[in-house]
Amino acid sequence: MKPAPFTYSRPADWGAAVALLQSGARPVAGGQSIGPMLNLRVVQPDAVADLRHLPGFGGVALSGGLCRIGAGTTHAAIEDDAVPGRLGEILAGVARRIAYRPVRNRGTIGGSLAHADPAADWVAVLPAFRGSAVALGPGGERRIALADFVMGLMETALRPDEVLRAIELPTLPAETRWGHWKFCRKPGEFSKATACVLAVPGEVPRAVLAALDEAPLVISDASALLAAPEAEAARIANAVPGLSPWRAALARTALKRAAAMVLETA
Ligand SMILES: Cc1cc2nc3c(=O)[nH]c(=O)nc-3n(C[C@H](O)[C@H](O)[C@H](O)COP(=O)(O)OP(=O)(O)OC[C@H]3O[C@@H](n4cnc5c(N)ncnc54)[C@H](O)[C@@H]3O)c2cc1C
């Protein structure tokens, strides 16, 4: 199939991008998710706004303990160490397991988050960090905690006239421990259950359980999971409503293995 006709615009600045969204245009970043949706006519916008040429759309900047990752930064750039330090090591490890390289060359961290597929890797992992999504709308910028950004299946806290401009994450000390387990049938496939655990020295450890067809489950204090992984992983997975037994088993095992990765590096 071919997409239904639409008007194509390439805003030159962020104000023009927001104005286009206000007039009903659909933003496009890497096109890796919206492209197929347009072709299948799952979405039929009258206009699209191609964000790729906005100044600072991609790229990484460090300032005052915060790492600002432009929404248009590709998975491939993150895989290739665009983000420095321990945070960058962790993110590169996540990025290199997204799909395969041609998809990673075009797909963006912001597009993935805004798309809010519960099985997507950034959706599953970013809430583990005490960071924010930076949204820009007609009233200016606002920050949304990453733990609150994805609200459900393809549903985010972004307003229709807001564009996701950046993701801000705290930089991490070298001693930060990280566990990440993604269940998929073959490498590069969408996950059937993902868990991650982040243990930053001096902070309460956090965990996320995701890819369960709904918003990620953020465990803001994962101390119990690290103290008793077997029992706690079972308790958490069993409490997710509506999971079939095999998905619950994957969720439990993903959590247990992510916790084990953190404990092994203690
Ligand atoms: C074959 C294939 C395999 C894949 N496998 C995986 C996988 O294993 N794991 C995984 O995580 N992903 C996977 N993906 C998805 C891929 O990671 C996409 O890059 C991602 O989902 C969307 O990013 P994008 O930049 O292409 O966004 P687009 O497709 O351009 O946009 C996606 C959605 O987000 C909106 N949007 C985009 N950018 C913004 C913005 N800055 N502000 C507001 N709204 C915005 C668009 O309007 C659209 O609704 C796969 C894709 C393909 C084609």
Query: Mind listing the pLDDT tens digit for each residue in 137-168?
Result: 999 999 999 999 999 999 999 999 999 999 99
Same-domain status, 256 and 194? yes
- CA end-to-end span of the chain: 53
Does 48 reside within a domain? no
Does 52 reside within a domain? no
Does 121 reside within a domain? yes
Does 1 reside within a domain? no
Same-domain status, 165 and 190? no
Write down the mean pLDDT value for the chain.
97
pLDDT at 219: 98
Measured distance CA(21)–CA(254) in Å, rounded: 38
Residue 255 CB partners (closer than 8 Å, separation 6+): 181, 195, 197, 207, 209, 225, 229, 232, 233, 236, 237
Residue 97: give its domain's CATH number.
Answer: 3.30.465.10
Verify whether ligand 1 is closer than 6 Å to residue 110 (CB atom).
yes
Does 27 reside within a domain? yes
- Using pLDDT thresholds of 50, 70 and 90, give the confidence band for residue 14: very high
Measured distance CA(206)–CA(197) in Å, rounded: 6
Q: Whose CA is nearest to atom 2 of ligand 1?
A: 99
pLDDT at 8: 98
Same-domain status, 65 and 166? yes
Q: How far apart are the CA of 82 and the centre of ligand 1, in A?
A: 19
Q: What percent of the chain has pLDDT over 70?
A: 100
- Look at residues 242, 233, 185 and name the one whose alpha carbon lies nearest to residue 213: 242
Verify whether ligand 1 is closer than 6 Å to residue 47 (CB atom).
no
Q: How far apart are the CA of 103 and the centre of ligand 1, in A?
A: 9
Residue 209: give its domain's CATH number.
Answer: 3.30.390.50
Same-domain status, 104 and 151? yes
Answer with the one of 170, 186, 210 that is the final residue of a domain. Answer: 170
Answer with the one of 149, 170, 191 that is the final residue of a domain. Answer: 170
Same-domain status, 163 and 204? no
State pLDDT tens for residues 22-69.
999 999 999 999 999 999 999 999 999 999 999 999 999 999 999 999
Answer with the one of 170, 187, 216 that is the final residue of a domain. Answer: 170
Residue 2 CB partners (closer than 8 Å, separation 6+): 39
Does 2 reside within a domain? no
Same-domain status, 193 and 246? yes
Pocket test for ligand 1, best of 9, 22, 42, 112 (most atoms within 8 A of CB): 112
pLDDT at 54: 98
> What is 156-218 written as a DSSP string?
ES--TT-EEEEEEEE---TT-EEEEEEE-SSTTSPPSEEEEEEE-TTS--EEEEE-SSSS-EE
pLDDT at 189: 84
How many C-beta neighbours within 10 Å does residue 39 have?
13
Same-domain status, 64 and 165? yes
Same-domain status, 22 and 75? no
Question: For residue 72, which atom of ligand 1 is closest to its CA?
Answer: 41
Verify whether ligand 1 is closer than 6 Å to residue 19 (CB atom).
no
pLDDT at 186: 86
Element (H, E) at 137: strand 132-137
Same-domain status, 69 and 22? no
Question: For residue 121, which atom of ligand 1 is closest to its CA?
Answer: 11
Verify whether ligand 1 is closer than 6 Å to residue 115 (CB atom).
yes
Same-domain status, 160 and 205? no
Q: What percent of the chain has pLDDT over 90?
A: 95
Same-domain status, 221 and 259? yes
Same-domain status, 105 and 160? yes
Angle at 58 between CA 34 and CA 104, to 5 degrees: 50
Residue range of the domain that includes 15: 7-42
- Asked if pLDDT for residue 182 goes beyond 80, the answer is yes
- Using pLDDT thresholds of 50, 70 and 90, give the confidence band for residue 71: very high
Query: pTM value?
Result: 0.97
- Asked if pLDDT for residue 21 goes beyond 90, the answer is yes
Does 217 reside within a domain? yes
Does 206 reside within a domain? yes
Task: State mean pLDDT over 92-119.
Answer: 97
Measured distance CA(227)–CA(51) in Å, rounded: 45
- Using pLDDT thresholds of 50, 70 and 90, give the confidence band for residue 191: very high
Element (H, E) at 253: helix 245-264
pLDDT at 1: 72
State pLDDT tens for residues 121-140.
999 999 999 999 999 999 99
- How many domains are contained in the chain? 3
pLDDT at 266: 78
